[in-house]
A and B are shown apart, each in its own frame.
Chain A
Amino acid sequence: DTEVTQTPKHLVMGMTNKKSLKCEQHMGHRAMYWYKQKAKKPPELMFVYSYEKLSINESVPSRFSPECPNSSLLNLHLHALQPEDSALYLCASSQVTGLATQTQYFGPGTRLLVL
């Protein structure tokens, strides 16, 4: 089983709203990732969690706040977003980081529209 699940599938929010994106995997993976993807572009890395600790923040604005409550769950809290933040948000997981051959498995994504 190589399934990563994400909820919700679609989200529309105003610039003053607070919402959260959720990601879950039950593959025993200890590394989890958030990516942002614009149409017809490759995914851009936002955050990396390794063993439930934040290991990479790719200079993401503070209106995006990640959280890893346990080894299976990853959240992305959203607050005061801008219309340009509208994108497909992807979660991925891998067994660990630090090993060169660790394949990342992606979830189906959350399509976010900020009005």
Chain B
Amino acid sequence: TQLLEQSPQFLSIQEGENLTVYCNSSSVFSSLQWYRQEPGEGPVLLVTVVTGGEVKKLKRLTFQFGDARKDSSLHITAAQPGDTGLYLCAGGPDSWGKLQFGAGTQVVVTP
């Protein structure tokens, strides 16, 4: 089983601050997805990273996939209250379609 360790579990910051969420594994993943989920809603896809060393930007969000495709990070610049949510990384899928989810990072951005 490929395990994904996500950290931190919880992050509370003020509006305007920066934050970084990490997703690490001892296994290589073919691709990795980042999702954001709000309470009572389904996860919304933010990005898929596929190539080792890849960096993708989505407005104030920057996603990086490690060179060895074992780790990834999500950096948010100048966080806003609308960035509040549960951030999930998910590695894979495998040939059966199974994703390996990290435990999630609850981000709270206060005005």
Contacts and interface: CB of A to CB of B under 8 A. Distances in A.
Interface stretch (B13-21, B58-66, B74-82, B101-109): B101-109
Interface string A78-114: 0000000000101000100110111111111101000
B96 A40 contact: no
Given A94-B93, A104-B33, A104-B93, A45 B99 contact: yes
B71 to A, nearest CB: 17
A105 B88 contact: no
A42 B101 contact: yes
Given A100-B30, A101-B50, A108-B41, A41 B104 contact: yes
Interface residues of B, number: 28
Contact of A48 (B43, B45, B92, B97): B97
B52 to A, nearest CB: 13
Interface size class of A (residues with CB under 8 A): 20 to 34
Interface of B: 30-31, 33, 35, 40-45, 48, 50, 86, 88, 90, 92-99, 101-104, 106
Interface of A: 2, 4, 6, 31, 33, 40-43, 45, 48, 50, 55-56, 88, 90, 94, 97-98, 100-109, 111
30 contacts: A6-B42, A40-B86, A40-B104, A41-B103, A42-B88, A42-B90, A42-B103, A43-B43, A43-B101, A48-B97, A50-B97, A88-B40, A90-B42, A94-B93, A94-B97, A97-B95, A98-B95, A98-B97, A100-B31, A100-B92, A101-B30, A101-B50, A102-B93, A102-B97, A104-B33, A104-B93, A105-B45, A107-B42, A108-B41, A109-B41
